[in-house]
Structure 1
Amino acid sequence: MSADGREGSNWFDDDAGPVVRPYAMTRGRTTSAAQHRLDVIALVVTEPHADDPEADQTLAPEHVDIVELCRHAPQSVAELAAELDLPIGVVRVLVGDLVDAELVHVTRPVPPAELPDESILRDVINGLRAL
């Protein structure tokens, strides 16, 4: 009990464990050093040489989790945020750190303006059928 007669306030929920603010995971940063622009649908892929991220003492546990999740199959930034139960902004910073460390790479979706016109694709299909 505290001096005023109330029970001491806990900074954690007994069921959830200790609370860590998202900015603590990113050390207060809202962007990564290289200013990577990551869409929520950008795919994160683990680099082949990133075989043991736990050996790197500079990585936070969340960094290691991202590398491990992306090792088996590419994951979108949104999927990583959902799987790790972290805000998108935090995941963007963490993924940016991993890109800088060359442990993952990001493939960005093709913008709709750069996709081929549907009529061109139909002409190609018709040309292939004619063969």
Structure 2
Amino acid sequence: MDRRLIPPYVWTGGRTRPSRNVLDRMTVLRAATDHVPVGVSPAGQQVLARVLRAGALPLAELAADLSLPVSFVKVLACDLFDAGWLVVRTPASSCEQAWYEDEGPPDTHLLERVIDGLKALP
């Protein structure tokens, strides 16, 4: 698919909103398969091929690589996620909030020891 000749809205079938609002610019995308499945749209094939080649990519980096707006890549990524072909990992800040809710705050004594150990490195 030639990015210069095809407007971004054609890549998404004219849709401008993702099916779910869980993706952030820093969301890391990873392929759930080791190959590009046959039933994927040409746009989805482009996305999966780039993610497979890199191993994992943040959404913003993928959009830059494809020379497409992040909003359109979100739509494509959500479609692939809904189909089970992409695995998404939320940014660290969201993960930390969920971790605090489940486990409680981290052990500050342990964190201080880790910081002291890092400072001691040459």
TM-score, normalized by the shorter chain, greater than 0.5: yes
Q: Which has the larger radius of gyration?
A: 1
Structure 2: runs of 5 or more not aligned: 117-122
- Asked if 1:23 is matched to 2:4, the reply is no
- Asked if 1:61 is matched to 2:50, the reply is no
Give the structure with the higher percent helix: 2
- Asked if 1:70 is matched to 2:51, the reply is yes
In 2, Cα distance between the equivalents of 1:99 and 1:18? 26
2:28 maps to which residue? 43
Structure 1: runs of 5 or more not aligned: 1-15, 127-131
1:122 maps to which residue? 112
Q: Deviations over 1:3-36 (max 9, x none)?
A: xxxxxxxxxxxxx886322112112212233x14
**Overall identity of the aligned pairs, in %:** 29
In 2, Cα distance between the equivalents of 1:111 and 1:44? 16
Aligned residues: 107
Q: Deviations over 1:58-92 (max 9, x none)?
A: x3322111111112410010111011000100000
What root-mean-square deviation, in Å, do the aligned CA atoms of Structure 1 and Structure 2 show?
3.0
Q: What's the TM-score, normalizing by structure 2?
A: 0.71
Amino acid at match of 1:68: A
In 2, Cα distance between the equivalents of 1:96 and 1:110? 19
